[in-house]
Amino acid sequence: TNQQQMKIWSENCPENFHHKYLLVEAEISRIESRNWEAVEFYRKAIKEARKHEFIQYEALGNELLAKFWLAQGDEKIAQAYMTDAHYGYQLWGATGKVQDLEQKYSQLLATRPEKTGHLGDHAGRLDRMVDRTRPSDARDHSSGRWLPRLDIAQECSHRAHL
C-alpha cells in the first residue's frame, strides 16, 4: 500500500518523510476510531515537522488535530491547535489558507498568538497537560469519546481570558 511505501521512505529519510508518515497514521487511527492513537500520532507528526522546519506540515498537523478535537466536542482544546495552525500558515505565506481558516473557524481564532518565531506555544502547553491526564480513566470506553478533564478545561479557560 501507499502507507507501506511511506514507512520505507520514513525509515530511510526520516527528516523528509517521518512527519508525513505520522500524519497519515493519525488520520487512519482517527477514521478507525482509535482516538488516543490518533492524538499521539498527530502530536508526534507536529513535533517532527517542527524539528525539521516543515512549517506547512506543522500547520497541517495542528489544523487536523484541531478538527479532531472539534469532532470530540472540545472547542477549547481545538482553539489552541487551530490558533497554531493559523499562525503556521501565516509564517509559510499561505494567505489563501489563512483566509479560509478565518472564514470557517472565526470563533476559534478570536485570540491570536504573539509572533514568537515558532509554533507550538499554545498547543504545546496543552500537550503537556494531556500527558499528565492520560490514565485510562480519561476516556469513556463504551463510547470512545473523551471525557472532559478539569485541569485541561481550567487551563483553556485561563488562556481564553489572557
pLDDT, tens digit, 9 for 90 and up, residues 71-122: 999 999 999 999 999 999 999 999 999 999 999 999 999 755 454 444 455 5
Name the residue among 16, 11, 43 with its Cα closest to residue 29.
43
The span from the CA of 119 to the CA of 65, in Å, is 14
Residue whose C-alpha cell is 501565516: 90
pLDDT, tens digit, 9 for 90 and up, residues 9-41: 999 999 999 999 999 999 999 999 999 999 999
Minimum mean pLDDT among 42-46, 49-53, 89-93, 128-132: which range?
A: 128-132
The span from the CA of 2 to the CA of 110, in Å, is 38
Asked whether the CA dihedral 37, 38, 40, 44 is positive or negative, the reply is positive
The helix or strand, by DSSP H or E, that contains position 139, with its residue range, turns out to be strand 139-140
Q: Chain-centre distance of CA 85, in angstroms?
A: 8
